[in-house]
């Protein structure tokens, strides 16, 4: 396996290991900074993981007629 793909999968695993309760379910009050930080970290790790996994694959070659 490629190193980028392993790092991407690790980012996904870490993103979904972040507890969702403070970020999504606990919406009482305006000062829910822990929830905001958890949610932003989860989104960042999901997209970074996708970018790493996607960039680890083989690239499409040109000249296929499209």
Q: Which residue has the higher pLDDT, 52 or 64?
A: 52
Q: Is the full-model pTM beyond 0.75?
A: no
Would you state the pLDDT for residue 38?
82
Answer yes or no: are the C-beta atoms of 4 and 56 closer than 8 Å. Answer: yes
Would you state the pLDDT for residue 34?
77
Would you state the pLDDT for residue 47?
93
Q: Where are the domains of the chain?
A: 3-54
Answer yes or no: are the C-beta atoms of 35 and 24 closer than 8 Å. Answer: yes
Alpha carbons 47 and 51: distance in angstroms, whole number: 6
* Long-range contacts at 21-25 (CB < 8 A, ≥ 24 apart): none
Would you state the pLDDT for residue 23?
63
Mean pLDDT score across all residues of the chain: 79
């Amino acid at each position: 396996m490629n190193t980028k793909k392993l790092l991407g999968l690790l980012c996904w695993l870490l993103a979904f290991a972040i507890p969702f309760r403070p970020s999504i379910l606990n919406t009482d009050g305006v000062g829910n900074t822990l929830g905001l930080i958890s949610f932003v970290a989860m989104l960042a790790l999901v997209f970074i993981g996708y970018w790493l996994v996607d960039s680890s694959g083989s690239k499409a070659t040109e000249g296929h007629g499209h």
